[in-house]
Amino acid sequence: MTNIIPEKTADINADLLKDIARLKGQPAGEAKPQPMSVLYPVSAAVWLKAEKEALKNPVSGQRMPDGSVYLGKYWLDDPGDKSLTLEFNVFAAKEDLPDGPRTYNDTVKYMSQLKGWNGHDGAGYKNDKGLYRALREGTYDGKWIIPTIGMLNGGERNAEAMMPDNIIARNKVDSAFKETFKKDGLDGNDAPHWYWSSSEAVRKSIYNVCPYSHFFLYDDDKDRKRLSCRPVRLVPCKGP
């Protein structure tokens, strides 16, 4: 089966390689670090069992088997449809979306083409309304998404106001996020230390935040500033 455990490496002893080559009647190769998945293959079934066990009693800030960080349980309410109230476990990626920063529209496009990143594909919803629509229709299937402003910083200028276990708040207290957020790099329209949400402001611009700024909430046009993105993924809660 395809191995989906995050790759780690282990050193192979040179003498061991020579002995293996001798037994196979092949030239001895150079001793190089090998992926752990090559040395100890793990099946998808074992992986899924590990994830299920980790979800039994998770705590906010817990590192999961795939390297993501568990944020907590969220009730997602669609502002346009009060009948859509669903509870999900929310997981933040262990790292930023690769090759950033990008404009918001380019981030959406990149997410739609994301394949197998940290074990999952991406979904390119144009905004949080697109996510709510997918949840309502049952078409969301656990892919990486651009976080809503609530998941990113709580949804207000005070980052702890609405959702205490959001990405920005956890970054302040958890070693799981240590040194994974950009702290500077402002250069013209590039602001990699600011992070996109998928939530639109009144003028259809997109809310964004800086993990290390005193000004937690701002909004920018979708095609002007180039910012970073810390994706999240949702898993439905099946019990209380």
pLDDT tens for each residue of 93-117: 999 999 989 999 999 999 999 999 9
Residue 44 lies in a domain: no
3-state secondary structure of 201: coil
* 55 and 32 housed in the same domain: no
Q: Are residues 18 and 65 in the same domain?
A: no
- Is the domain of 94 the same as that of 145? yes
Enter the tokens of residue 237.
């809660």
More confident residue, 66 or 80: 66
| 26 shares its domain with 145 | no
Same domain? 180 vs 82: yes
Q: Which of 1-10, 63-72, 191-200, 213-222 has the lowest mean pLDDT?
A: 1-10
What pLDDT was estimated at residue 142?
93
E strand or H helix at 66, and its extent? Answer: none
**Do 21 and 129 reside in the same domain of the chain?**
no
- Per the structure, the complete domain to which residue 32 belongs is given by 9-39
Give yes or no: residues 76 and 162 share one domain.
yes
In a domain? residue 46: no
Beta carbons within 8 Å of 5's beta carbon, 6+ residues apart = 36, 37, 42, 47, 65, 66
pLDDT band for position 130 (cuts 50, 70, 90)? very high
Q: Which distant-in-sequence residues (6+ apart) come within 8 Å of 205 by Cβ?
A: 219, 220, 221, 222
Residues 122 and 177 reside in one and the same domain: yes
Residue 59 lies in a domain: yes
Q: Report the domain count for the chain.
A: 2
